[in-house]
Amino acid sequence: MQKTPVHTNTHAPSYYAATANWQTDYPTLDGQIEVDVCIVGGGFSGVSTALNLAERGYKVALLEAHKISWGASGRNGGQLIRGIGHGAEQFRNAIGEEGVKSIFSMGLEAVNIVRNSIERHQIDCDLTMGYFDAATKTRHIRDLEADFDELSKFGYTHEIEMLDQHQVSSVVGSDMYIGGLVDMGSGHLHPLNLCIGEARAAEKLGTQLFENSKVTRIQHGVKPIIFTEKGSVTANYVVLGGNAYIGDLEPKIAGKVLPAGSYIIATEPLPESVYQKLLPRNMAVCDQRATLDYFRLSADKRMLFGGMCNYSGRDPADITATLRPKMLKVFPQLNNVAIEYEWGGNIGIGANRMPQLGRIADNVLFMQAYSGHGVNATHMMGRLVADAICGQAERFDIFANIKHMTFPGGKHLRSPLLAAGMLYHRFLDLF
């Protein structure tokens, strides 16, 4: 059984780490350097921003406290799903009708950014298109029908289809679901291989990447200085992409993102006779509950099953013992199948479930709080930050105009408070 790592200079011993295309081995920053842009954080946020800027000719340095894609970017469910945030309509007063439409459009563009990056840089990351929003309640069907209508009116170019209860077995071999929405414009991939592949692409374009280079403080000014334990970077711009792992580095934004635990198990490889019945079209699947399950097949046909988002700040004592019963509720056919990997990590949650993008100063920008929906959204935010640095901030400002609450109670109380709040949403799932 693979356990969560003790040492933070290695990846969590997940299925992804075991099947990574290569191991990154970037140096630790030692000494002083000067660049156009210094990026803090080596996950999708930081790497996608670096790649965007490097493609435009900027001199970029990226500082990662552990390994490239060490956090959620290298541990997540690998689901590439359309959309950004949860309900841009709630911000209409702040961003206007055009802002709402723009966020919807960007939620579709974000998937294409990832697909284009994979194709342009020839990244081997098991990209497979096909996704199913699974419904367990009648109200979920109504919500998905509204999504279907909205996508149809927008002129969505990918195949979409509403399935009733009798049709569900064509995509999921489970009695749990009463219908759902098929979307062939979303899909799934190997997230660690995507992130390290994009890092390599940025490196080829001149980006300097540093691992095991935790930022200890930032000296703000006309040319900010970013300090690590052994060196410093002087830059014209700073981009903060630490998300759930931002810690106390920048108090103005740290209190607006809550680290929440998310966990995954991976079975042994399944025989064709089994996996063809479970996921006959090899789609990624999410249900619609507040405490959702999500699952998919890996390239070597393991069931990767995740969920159990934990807002309490305490990891479960045994990930498999907690997640396996959830998997067997969906797929009792897997009762005698071995679990070969278990892992977890933190995702960044915002109070309003909309990614946070903005400026701490004119030359210090940040992005965070993807609330478990980050594979595509991080890439969109990376593009918007690069656009803003280039002087094209119209779409950046749509997100920057959205206000985000600081979680009350300080870092010691905000997790228990949010956990208590989530009990309400879990209660609603019962009806």
CB 31 within 8 A of CB 25: no
Among 292, 289, 296, 345, smallest CA distance to 316 is for: 345
What pLDDT does residue 35 have?
A: 98
pLDDT digits (tens, 9 = 90+) for 80-97: 999 998 888 999 999 999
Strands (E) located in 41-137 = 60-63, 79-80, 128-135
Nearest to 179 by CA among 60, 341, 291, 287: 287
Q: CB 423: neighbour CB atoms within 10 A? A: 10
pLDDT (tens digit per residue) in 261-279: 999 999 999 999 999 999 9
pLDDT at 271: 98
pLDDT at 411: 55
Q: What is the DSSP letter of 310?
A: E
DSSP state of 125: S
Helix (H) or strand (E) holding 150: helix 138-154
Measured CA to CA in angstroms, residue 364 lies from 8, 123, 335 at distances of: 27, 30, 51
Contact 227, 219 (CB under 8 A): yes
Given a cut of 90, whether residue 114 has pLDDT beyond it is yes
Per-residue pLDDT reduced to its tens digit, 218-252: 999 999 999 999 999 999 999 999 998 888 899 88
Cβ contact 348:258 at 8 Å: yes
Q: What is the pLDDT of residue 373?
A: 87
Average pLDDT for 73-81: 96
Given a contact cutoff of 8 angstroms between Cβ atoms, the answer to whether 368 and 348 are in contact is yes
What average pLDDT does the segment 172-186 reach?
A: 98
Q: Taking 60 as the threshold, does the pLDDT of residue 415 lie above it? A: no
Amino acid 312: pLDDT? 64
- What pLDDT, on the 0 to 100 scale, is given for residue 420? 45
User: What pLDDT is attached to residue 290?
Assistant: 80
pLDDT for 401 beyond 90: yes
Residue 423, pLDDT > 50, answer: no
Q: How far, rounded to the nearest angstrom, does the alpha carbon of residue 396 sit from its chain's CA centroid?
A: 19
Nearest to residue 264, comparing CAs of 333, 329, 322?
322
Q: How far apart are CA 163 and CA 152, in angstroms?
A: 16
List the beta bridge partners of residue 310. Answer: 261
Task: Return the bridge partners of 62, or none.
Answer: 39, 209
Segment holding 171, helix H or strand E: none
Contacts of 309 (CB under 8 A, 6+ apart): 260, 261, 262, 291, 292, 347, 372
Alpha helices in 331-393 (DSSP H): 374-389
pLDDT at 22: 93
> Residue 69 and residue 46: Cα distance in Å, rounded?
10
The whole-number average pLDDT for the span 286-305 is 95
C-alpha to C-alpha distance for 168 and 182, rounded to whole angstroms: 10
Q: Reduced to 3 DSSP states, what percent helix, strand and coil does the chain have, rounded to the nearest 5?
A: 35, 25, 40
Determine the pLDDT at residue 341: 97
The confidence score (pLDDT) of residue 313 equals 63
pLDDT at 417: 52
The total of other beta-carbon atoms located within 10 Å of residue 249's CB is 19
Distance (Å, whole) CA 396 – CA 357: 7
Q: Residue 431 has what pLDDT?
A: 47
The sign one gets for the Cα dihedral 229, 233, 236, 240 is negative
Instruction: Quickly count: other Cβ atoms within 10 Å of residue 152's Cβ.
Output: 10
Q: What is the pTM of this model?
A: 0.93
The Cα-based distances of 184 to 129, 133, 162, 211, 285 in angstroms read: 6, 11, 12, 36, 12
Q: In whole angstroms, what is the distance from residue 399 CA to residue 387 CA?
A: 13
Token pair, residue 128, equals: 């497979």
- pLDDT given at position 87: 82
Residue 5 reports pLDDT greater than 70: no
Distance CA 381, CA 383 (A): 5
- Sequence-ordered list of residues with C-beta below 8 angstroms from that of 154, at least 6 positions apart, any chain: 104, 105, 108
Sign, Cα dihedral of 395, 396, 401, 403: positive
Identify the three-state secondary structure at position 146.
helix
pLDDT in tens, 309-351: 777 667 788 999 999 999 999 999 999 999 999 999 899 999 8
What pLDDT is attached to residue 371?
Answer: 86
pLDDT at 430: 43
The secondary structure element, H or E, covering residue 139 is helix 138-154
